[in-house]
Every structure is written in C-alpha cells, then in structure tokens.
A and B are shown apart, each in its own frame.
Chain A
Amino acid sequence: MGGWAIAVHGGAGVDPNLPTQRQEEAKQLLTRCLNLGISALRSSLSAIDVVELVVRELESDPLFNSGRGSALTEKGTVEMEASIMDGPKRRCGAVSGLTTVKNPVSLARLVMDKSPHSYLAFSGAEEFARQQGVEMVDNEYFVTEENLGMLKLAKEANAIVFDYRIPALGLETCSAGAGAAIDNGLQMNGLPISIYAPE
C-alpha cells in the first residue's frame, strides 16, 4: 500500500497567449488548494472529505470555471453542475442546473449521503438544497465582469466557447478568455470546428 496522493485541475484548454500574471495567479491557486488537501490528508481526513474540501475552495475562487466565476449561458446566467464519487463502495452523487447553490460539490455530496438517488437536477436539486439548508446566494454572485466580456466575444464569434486548440485568430484573446477558432474544415462531433472556440 502506498501513501496518500492528491491531484487538482482547473480546466483543460488554456489561452496560448494567457498573460504571465494570470498564469502565476492560477499556479498560486492550485498550490493553495494542494496545500489545503495535503494538510487535511496529514490530519487523516478521508479521501471523500478531502476532494469535497478542495473542490469547494476552487468553486469559491472566481479564477476557474466553477462556482463563482462560472461560464455563462447564452442568456448570461449561470447553471452549474458537479459530481462526487467515493471509491470503496462506489457511492456517488451529482447535481446539474444549479443557479443559487454556493457550493455545488457539497450538494452533490448531500445527494450521495442524504438522498435515495445519485443525481438531482434543476428545480428538484434547488428544492433539495433548501431542505438540506446549504448556503444559497443570488445568481449574480456567480457572474463576473470578465465572463460577461467573454460571453460577448463568444456571441460575436457565434461560438460555443470550449477550449484552446487553435490559437485565436482575429479576436484579441483576453486573459483565460475566448477567441474564435478559425474554420479549417476540421469536424468535431460532426460539426464544423468553427462553432467551438477557445475557452
């Protein structure tokens, strides 16, 4: 049996022109979350408690696409989703379509621990959140100025913002921001690549 191990991610697909300062901010957040998880592991918290603790921290920081700082829908609102799974007995919980739950991963954990189901979504998930007394905030809490700017770019490019596979062309890329992928005939899911743009 080996010792403990932990990994965190903040999303795949990074703007190739991401300013160095933003890269440093991202590394500092990842380091902070790793250290949070490491001290919890050293205090003998179980793996399921540590993953929830670390993802809550990532959701609360607006830097990455989750919780506060989430990507915006075509209507400029936030709809969040999360899941959690405990290896030993393969128990799991998931939520989708959340608009007011401050930490979606903790509601997913409650679905796993306190409901007879493994997945709740939209109004049912929000109702369950109220019953469980989790912290709830207005949808505006999750919306950031930067993401409003990115949504505007995505709409101008008529794109569903995905990740950076083709460095943005034409549209200036804002930090960790959007740009339109050039249409080079590449297909994705049977659709022209141009509908996907860098995240």
Chain B
Amino acid sequence: TVGCVVVDSQGRCAAATSTGGLMNKMTGRIGDSPLIGSGTYACNLCGVSCTGEGEAIIRGTLARDVAAVMEYKGLGLQEAVDYVVRERLDEGKAGMIAVSNNGEVAYGFNTTGMFRGCATDDGFMEVGIWE
C-alpha cells in the first residue's frame, strides 16, 4: 500500500491511497484503502492515509477518527495520530501519515516499521523505515 497526504500553502488538505491489497487474498476482497473514512480521509482540518491490516483499519474507521478526535477532543495532529493508533486498533496492526491545515505533518504505526517520508515548508525533511 502507498499513500500521500498534502496541505498546500492555502491550507487545503488532501489524501490519496493506492494498493494491491494482501498477498494470497481471495479474489473480490476489498480492503481499507478505497474506503473513505477508513484508509483515506481529508477535510478542512487534516488529511490522513492509512496502511496495514485492512480489516482492523476498517473496523476502527481509522482515518476519520484522526479528524474526529481533533474536532471533538481538540487534540493536535500528532496527539490525534498517537491516540488513534493506540486506542482504535484492538489487536490490529497499522500505520498512518497525516497533515493538518496549519502545516503540521505526523505519522504513527504499531507494526514492525513503516516506509515513510515527510517534509514541511520550513525545510524539514525526513525519510525513515524503523522506529
């Protein structure tokens, strides 16, 4: 699974996710990536793209939950990502990337590593795999 989240200089957020799914999956299986609110979500507040064990991401409506805890609990972006990864996955394993409308970027995962990269307007740039 691959994904990208962006907030542009006008504060507009967007998210996109694309995948081949799971190796050896049944034909016809649909995972979280195409499900708006689970694998992908964007609103005025943030943009989120998830990856990992699709069935757990779907049950946890993971991407929408980041926006929801920001909206209703007033959490910041990284707090919201950490909260959702910690509280919404049960025994599931997943990761996510997110941006907020004020130019923040965040990620979180409870799997063995996640291929990710992030950059911001002020020159910050990071590419990583492990914790």
Contacts and interface: CB of A to CB of B under 8 A. Distances in A.
B9 A6 contact: no
Nearest to B28: A97
A162 to B, nearest CB: 5
- Provide the main secondary structure of the chain A interface: mixed
Interface string A3-31: 11111111111111010000100110011
Interface centre among B29, B92, B102, B104 (most CB of A within 10 A): B29
Interface string B30-73: 11011110011111111101011101100100000000000000
Interface in B65-102: 91-102
Contacts of B12: 46-48, 86-88
A169 interface: no
Contacts of B94: 12
B4 A50 contact: yes
B19 A160 contact: no
Contacts of B122: 3
B6 A4 contact: yes
A87 B18 contact: no
Interface residues of B, number: 86
Given A7-B118, A9-B97, A88-B12, A73 B4 contact: no
B127 A27 contact: yes
A27 B118 CA distance: 12
A147 B21 CA distance: 12
Interface in A166-181: 167, 178
Measured as residues with beta carbon below 8 angstroms from the partner, the interface class of chain A is: 35 or more
A41 B8 contact: yes
A184 interface: no
Given A14-B129, A51-B4, A64 B15 contact: no
Interface of A: 1-16, 18, 23, 26-27, 30-31, 33-34, 37-38, 41, 44-48, 50-52, 54-55, 58-59, 64-67, 69-75, 77-88, 90, 92, 94-97, 104-105, 108, 118-119, 121-122, 142, 147, 150-151, 154-155, 159-165, 167, 178, 186-189, 196, 198-199
Given A12-B94, A14-B115, A71-B21, 17 more contacts: A3-B120, A7-B119, A11-B115, A26-B115, A34-B119, A41-B9, A58-B2, A66-B2, A70-B20, A72-B20, A72-B24, A74-B26, A79-B29, A81-B31, A92-B42, A154-B23, A186-B91
27 contacts: A2-B100, A2-B102, A3-B103, A3-B120, A7-B5, A7-B116, A8-B116, A8-B117, A8-B118, A9-B51, A27-B129, A47-B6, A47-B47, A54-B4, A58-B4, A67-B18, A70-B20, A71-B22, A72-B20, A73-B21, A83-B16, A83-B40, A87-B44, A94-B34, A155-B24, A161-B22, A163-B111
